[in-house]
Amino acid sequence: MNAHVQGCTAGAEIAPKPVRRESGQREVFCGLTGIVWLHRKIQDAFFLVVGSRTCAHLIQSAAGVMIFAEPRFATAIMEEKDLAGLTDANDELDRIVTQLIARRPDIRLLFLVGSCPSEVIKLDLSRAALRLSQKFSPDVRILNYSGSGIETTFTQGEDACLASLVPAAPPPGTGEDQLLVVGALADVVEDQFVRLFEALGIGPVQFLPPRRSTALPAVGPNTKFLLAQPFLADTARALEDRGATRLAAPFPLGVEGTTAWLRAAADAFGVERARFERVTEPYRVRAERALTRYRSELAGRRVFLFPDSQLEIPLARFLSRELLMQLVEVGTPYLHREHLSEELKLLPSDVSLTEVQDVDLQLDRCRAAQPDLVVCGLGLANPLEAEGITTKWSIELVFTPIQGYEQAADLAELFARPLVRRAKLVA
Amino acid sequence: MQLTVWTYEGPPHVGAMRVATGMEGLHYVLHAPQGDTYADLLFTMIERRDRRPPVTYTTFSARDLGGDTAELFKTAAQNAYHRFQPQAMIVGASCTGSLIQDDPGGLARALNLPIPVVTVDLPAYQRKENWGAAETFYQLVRALAGPSAPASGAKRPARAADARPRCNLLGPTALGFRHRDDITEITSLLMKLGIDVNVTAPMGATPADLARLGEADFNVVLYPEIAGQAASWLQRTFGQAFTKTIPIGVSATREFIEEVATLAGIDAAATLAASSTRLPWYSRSVDSTYLTGKRVFIFGDATHAVAAARIASDELGFKVVGLGTYSREFGREIREAAKKYGVEPLITDDYLEVEAQVAELQPELVLGTQMERHIAKRLGVPCAVISAPVHVQDFPARYAPQMGFEGANVIFDTWVHPLMMGLEEHLLAMFKDDFEFKDGAVPSHLGAGHAAPDAGKSASQAEPVQALVEASGIAVTWAADAEKELYKIPFFVRGKARRNTERFANENGLVTITIETLYDAKAHYAR
């Protein structure tokens, strides 16, 4: 549990930055949490967690409010007898899936989602998915992935989910290059990007995940894809295995990130520079103007990011370059050096990066540094506020549309609001 | 396997966390994978706690499984001891932690920490949150109070003549429904009676406090789900009797005072005479006439559900049409109470089953948990929360106990507030065609946010009035004009009218319901 700072380097071709790698208690969600937004994104999919009461309790607690009539997720809670024999567990799973599909005939895609207990007892969900697919084909497609905490951290659950969709994607019909945007985005953000790509003459652009499972994008050697989220390592690998090419880019957070992200696609699709400038300029100007107010509120403020969603590095880049905040420490649950290479180049050379965490030691450093703003999870936020430290809950950064030009100021506002609020309250 | 959409209770280690988080000077080292730390947010967000729960998670990952997870546990326990310097520690495993069979108890003992270390083995695949809390509290009490137990068979010495009687308050934990305020209310009630509180536990107690539980003359069990097991052990070991009455509601509070007075050997007559609560008068005042016979569905933990049924029936004049609990361990209590009100007890932790029953019974008020609040909202039935599981709004800023006389006042307000007031109900019935009284009108004091389920639907597009197939197998059909007449009845009693009319038609062998059938049924079922 002792922290050890390693002089580990981040690949030869990018500026080496020292990364502190810690081990110890990690105050993060597991990958099952992604179900909270994925089940809304893919509208005909159902997520069945095969796990324990803890898994069920986690998802409903992370969802916070139980607003959905009958959500498109559920847990098959394993009981003592399921642990005793795997044959029985498989029979039980078949029974539950049959029961579920009978009750939800509208479902076209069912994910069997592995959990810590199902992984530890080695319940083979990929075989179960195959077996059940044969039974329910062609009405319902059944896939599986693991959202277990022993293998995935928070947003990696989305990665595992999307990676499981890739083999199911159809081959491309034509030989023309196609742009694929990968990573769940709010519908409104997706629509904005569609309009931008159209204006650039790139299109039709496809999205993974699609809003309906029956509209999976075609994937093949002529697929060029942009990652919209920084946590999609396995999905990218699965796409590359199908011959697709990743377009290296920073992530579409802030004006700078969005522009560079769009430009990566524009360059790959041979869009002329002049056209790119002409199309993006009004958006850039408008977003810049909206950001100005928040820059004056945030410039020079010191921010400390606890690891949560892997969005931390793109966020830190946005906060430091567009809002002129000072980065005290940037924690991330996992640092994918290749996918983040364009981001790492843009961070200040003396940035303090931490991969994984020992939450107690990290809290010690945070308290010692007394930052103006701490970005952290829900378990830490109120305790830090009670100590007089202003916080921004990181989960909101995953549940809010923050990508693209029109959301750049919204993103800045999320960081400004806690500081504004603290300044307003006198009692 | 059990298909679960929402769960009423978390896993048993969350129960252990509720005990540990309620206490001071205790630390919980939990062998658990990454992700189980989600449980912290229950306390920091829902209960708005200003400190992290005193829990260290080993957060092992897949990579560790091939290596030495036992070593990981020992390091975590050692570091937690040094960092937090607790008076005592509990150790255990979450559902996944228990599968890897590292024996946290044995590992912790091997560390030879200079504090008591209590092992809590919680069968995660059989038991749930409340059971976990009860077991943890029991193990802690046994381990910490046990050393000062008198010799077996020794008679409890009589209290000194000049000493005030003392009791312990047992059961309140972190994340409990109104535990915070119940403690204040009951402590002050006991003070008025001349009884001192020796220790309140788990909430607010240190391990050192648990060690002196035996010093009290008797125990007050506020929440049997959590403290029942510990109280039985204290009775066996220290000869401490414990209370059986839960002081929720006016009558129960008065009985509680009498029970406590008997255990303490004091006279409660003066306190009972001086006690004041507004509920009985508010309930007798003519404005409350409209509460008479309101159909109420009750679901929660057994203690709160049974108490709610008694208040609803005896103190507010409602009619209990459904009563249930998610705590199977307390099924007997619910079955007994259900018999009293002539209803079928509903003992289940399947949220969908509860929803189906609420929909079928069509109550006018639902008293339930956070989950029933959602059921009621969807069905457009007023609702008040009476039991855990709870949400952030169930931790109000104001003082809002459920127990004692002030608790009864709070309950009167909380249950009556969501209902339509008497005259308003009448006006809606009389002038239903007033354009502002459109279908789905809600109590005017609740504002626009409280939308009714079928708001905006006209009679023609409402759900088809058809096919209620009773045991006889005959489907009853509504004539068009009768259906139209049905929709002149305000929506919040329409369900009852429809059900009664259909039952009446069935019993009388009628195939078609006419306007006359509607009014015949109305006369038949007239209160």
**CATH code reported for the domain at B463-524:** 1.10.8.550
Give the residue from A322, A252, A309 showing the smallest Cα distance to A330.
Answer: A309
| Residue B159 pLDDT level (bands cut at 50, 70, 90) | confident
Three-class secondary structure assignment of A104-139: CCCCCEEEEEECHHHHHCCCCHHHHHHHHHHHHCCC
> Which among A277, A304, A324 is the end of a domain?
A277
A372 within some domain: yes
Quick check: B99 and A79 CB within 8 A? no
User: Cα-Cα-Cα-Cα dihedral of B201, B185, B385, B423, to 10°?
Assistant: 170
Cβ distance of A80 and B125 shorter than 8 Å: yes
Q: Which member of A30, A32, A378 has the closest CB to residue B44?
A: A378
Query: A96: which chain B residues are within 8 Å (Cβ-Cβ)?
Result: 1, 3
Q: State the pLDDT at residue A133.
A: 95
pLDDT band at B42 (very low <50, low <70, confident <90, very high): very high
B465, pLDDT greater than 80: no
Instruction: Confirm whether B287 is a catalytic residue.
Output: yes
If one compares B6 and A142, the residue with the highest pLDDT of the two is: A142
Residue-averaged pLDDT of chain B: 89
Architecture of B12-147 per CATH? 3-Layer(aba) Sandwich (3.40)
Tens digits of per-residue pLDDT, A289-326? 999 999 999 999 999 999 999 999 999 999 999 999 99
Distance spanning both ends of chain A, measured CA to CA: 41
Cβ-based neighbour number of residue A254 at 10 Å = 29
In chain B, what residues touch A63 (CB-CB under 8 Å)? none
- Residue B475 banded pLDDT, cuts 50, 70, 90: confident
Q: Is A308 left (phi over 0), alpha (psi -120 to 50) or beta?
A: alpha
More confident residue, A226 or B448: A226
pLDDT for res A3: 43
Q: Provide φ and ψ at A221, rounded to 5°.
A: -60, -20
For residue A119, the chain B residues in CB contact (below 8 A) are 62
Identify the DSSP state of B381.
-
Has residue A171 been placed in a domain?
no
Q: Is A228 in the same domain as A297?
A: no
Which residue, among B125, B352, B393, would best test binding to A if mutated, counting the most A CBs under 10 Å from its CB?
B125
pLDDT on residue B442: 60
Q: Dihedral, CA atoms, B378, A51, A166, A339, nearest 10 degrees?
A: 100
* B35 with A67: Cβ contact below 8 A: no
User: In degrees rounded to 5, what are phi and psi of residue A364?
Assistant: -60, -45
Closest CA to A77 of B352, B126, B133: B126
- 3-state class of A179 per DSSP? strand
Residue A404 has pLDDT above 90, yes or no: yes
Q: Is the pLDDT score of A88 beyond 90?
A: no
Sign (positive/negative) of CA torsion B30, B32, B34, B35? negative
Same domain, A261 and A315: no
Pair of tokens at residue B327: 């705590």
Query: Strands of B345-347's sheet, edge to edge?
Result: B345-347, B319-325, B295-300, B365-368, B383-385
Lowest mean pLDDT among A105-114, A227-236, B480-489: B480-489
CATH of residue A71's domain is 3.40.50.1980
Query: What was the pLDDT predicted at B463?
Result: 39
All residues at 6 or more sequence positions from A112 whose CB lies less than 8 Å from its CB, including other chains:
A48, A50, A93, A97, A125, A128, A129, A132, A142, A143, A144
pLDDT tens digits for range A113-129? 999 999 999 999 999 99
Shortest distance, CA A214 to any CA of chain B (angstroms): 25
Cβ-contact A50, A123 below 8 angstroms: yes
Q: Contact at 8 Å (CB) between B60 and B241? A: no
pLDDT per residue as tens digits for the range A313-369 = 999 999 999 999 999 999 999 999 999 999 999 999 999 999 999 999 999 999 999
In the three-class reduction of DSSP (H, G, I as helix; E, B as strand; rest coil), residue A298 is classed as helix
pLDDT, tens digit, 9 for 90 and up, residues A17-35? 789 999 899 999 999 999 9
Predicted confidence at residue B435, as pLDDT, reads: 56
Q: CA B75 to CA B368: how far, in whole Å?
A: 44
- Chain B residue numbers with beta carbons less than 8 Å from the beta carbon of A57 are 7, 10-11, 14, 39
Domain B156-274, CATH 3.40.50.1980 — does that match? yes
**Residue A157 in domain:** no
Q: Do domains B12-147 and B279-416 have the same CATH topology?
A: yes
Note whether A75 and A55 are within 8 A (CB).
yes
- Answer left, alpha or beta for residue B175, where phi above 0 means left and psi between -120 and 50 means alpha: left
Q: Indicate if the pLDDT at residue B178 is higher than 90.
A: yes
| CA separation, residue A116 to residues A39, A147, B60, B69, B196 (Å) | 20, 8, 10, 15, 48
CATH of B279-416 given 3.40.50.2300, 2.40.50.100, 2.40.50.110, 3.40.50.1980: 3.40.50.1980
Our CA-based measurement puts residue A81 at a distance from the nearest CA of chain B, in whole angstroms, of 8
pLDDT of residue A399: 84
Q: For strands A245-246 and A223-227, give the pairing.
A: parallel
Co-location of A56 and A11 in the same domain: no
Kind and range of the H or E run holding B304: helix B302-310
Within a domain: residue A283?
Answer: no
Share of residues in chain A with pLDDT > 90 (%): 85
pLDDT band (50, 70, 90) for residue B462: very low
8 Å CB contact between B502 and B478: no
Question: Would you list the domain boundaries of chain B?
Answer: 12-147, 156-274, 279-416, 463-524
Give chain A's mean pLDDT.
Answer: 92
Query: Would you state the torsion angle of the CA atoms of residues B155, B161, B162, B164, taken in this order, to the nearest 10 degrees?
Result: 50
Q: Give the C-alpha separation, A240 to A227, whole Å.
A: 12
Give alpha helix (H) positions in B311-400.
Answer: 331-341, 351-361, 370-379
Residue A9 has pLDDT above 80, yes or no: no
- Spot the catalytic one: B68, B267, B287, B434: B287
Cβ distance B23 to B201 under 8 Å? yes
Q: Quick check: A290 and A228 in contact, CB under 8 A?
A: no
pLDDT for position B466 = 39
Cα A309 to the chain's mean position, in Å? 6
Q: What percent of chain B has pLDDT over 90?
A: 71
